[in-house]
């Protein structure tokens, strides 16, 4: 399927003919399939399905049932579909994250995860799992995040009642380590009492950020594995206290 042209009517008719559909309804069925493909592309769908596509005794072709799923990331340009959204049916944390401009996915564990860059966050999820923990979320603060963004992300993750501790994994490029550290420090007075936070800072501003964390009495990891192991151990220690 070439997204520039969609499914052309002659292509749709050819598919139906090859599938053994009676030639008397190939034209009607082809028109339906071509329209379905057009709807899929124009609505930024991840799924557009007619199932079943029924052939009635009098030779009519009818959609007996249909389903379409719209990509959430495209709702900003799919205004009509966005207006139909029912937030109460979605995960309330994910809905609130979207409202606050955070890239967040709720999971079912108790270790909060914050990082910059989807790949790094996904790797952190894996490292926490290898350390014996269970990730509670995916949160990507993106590039160039300042202290206030870091603070906002921490407080958001901590608002999940399932979260028992949070690991922050940042590779500094345009995101500076000292800005991340400042955000973590700013959030301390508003976080749940005793909630452990472990940060791993690498790259731009790494030394400055670690120094700020150390001065504030906060824990940091030498690398991703160390940070993951420390947060899992801190959560277990707190639960056993």
Could you give the CA distance from residue 206 to residue 173 in angstroms, rounded to a whole number? 10
pLDDT in tens, 45-101: 999 999 988 888 888 888 899 999 888 788 889 988 877 776 555 678 988 888 888
Is residue 113 over pLDDT 90?
yes
Residues 168 and 203 in one domain: yes
| Domain stop point among 79, 108, 129 | 79
Mean pLDDT along residues 222-230: 95
Q: Which structural domain, as residue segments, surrounds residue 135?
A: 89-240
Within a domain: residue 94? yes
Neighbours of 71 (CB within 10 A): 13
Nearest CA to 56 out of 33, 22, 31, 30 is that of 22
Is 84 within the bounds of a domain? no
- Does 101 lie in the same domain as 54? no
Same domain, 163 and 127: yes
Residue 142 shares a structural domain with residue 231: yes
- Does residue 96 share a domain with residue 62? no
Domain end call among 79, 112, 139: 79
Structure-token pair, residue 122:
């996904």
Residues 212 and 143 in one domain: yes
The CB density around residue 108, as the number of other CB atoms within 10 Å, is 9
The answer to whether residues 135 and 232 belong to one domain is yes
Residues 100 and 188 in one domain: yes
Cα–Cα dist 239/110, whole Å: 12
**In a 10 Å sphere around its CB, with 0-12 CB exposed, 13-18 middle and 19+ buried, how is residue 199 labelled?**
buried
Give the pair of three-digit tokens for residue 37.
């493909």
Tell me which of 52, 79, 106 is where a domain ends.
79
With 90 as the cut, is the pLDDT of residue 181 above it?
yes
When divided into structural domains, the chain yields a total of: 2
What percent of the chain clears pLDDT 90, i.e. is strictly above it? 59
What CATH number is given to the structural domain containing 67? 3.30.470.20
The tens digit of pLDDT for each residue in 131-163 reads: 999 999 999 998 888 999 999 999 999 999 999
**Whole-number pLDDT of residue 84:** 78
Q: What is the pTM assigned to this prediction?
A: 0.68
Mean pLDDT over all residues of the chain? 90
Q: Are residues 235 and 178 in the same domain?
A: yes
Residues 63 and 97 in one domain: no
CATH of the domain at 134: 3.40.50.261
Q: Tell me, yes or no, whether 195 and 131 share the same domain.
A: yes
């Amino acid at each position: 399927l070439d997204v520039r042209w969609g499914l052309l009517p002659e292509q749709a008719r050819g598919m139906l003919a090859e599938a053994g559909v009676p030639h008397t309804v190939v034209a009607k069925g082809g028109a339906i399939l071509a329209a379905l493909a057009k709807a899929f592309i124009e609505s930024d769908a991840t799924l557009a399905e007619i199932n079943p596509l029924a052939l009635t005794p009098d030779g009519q072709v009818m959609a007996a049932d249909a389903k379409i799923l719209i990509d959430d990331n495209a709702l900003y340009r799919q205004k009509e579909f966005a207006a139909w959204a029912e937030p109460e049916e979605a995960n309330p944390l994910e809905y609130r994250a979207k409202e606050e401009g955070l890239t967040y996915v709720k999971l079912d564990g108790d270790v909060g995860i914050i990082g910059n860059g989807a790949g790094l966050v996904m790797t952190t999820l894996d490292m926490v799992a290898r350390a014996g923990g269970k990730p509670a979320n995916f949160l990507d603060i993106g590039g160039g995040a300042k202290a206030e963004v870091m603070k906002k992300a921490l407080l958001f993750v901590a608002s999940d009642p399932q979260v028992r501790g949070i690991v922050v994994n940042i590779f500094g490029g345009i995101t500076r380590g000292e800005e991340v550290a400042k955000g973590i420090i700013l959030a301390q007075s508003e976080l749940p009492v005793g909630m452990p936070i472990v940060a791993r800072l690498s790259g731009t501003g790494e030394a400055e950020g670690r120094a700020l964390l150390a001065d504030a009495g906060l824990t940091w990891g030498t690398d991703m594995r160390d940070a993951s192991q420390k947060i899992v151990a801190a959560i277990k220690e707190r639960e056993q206290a």
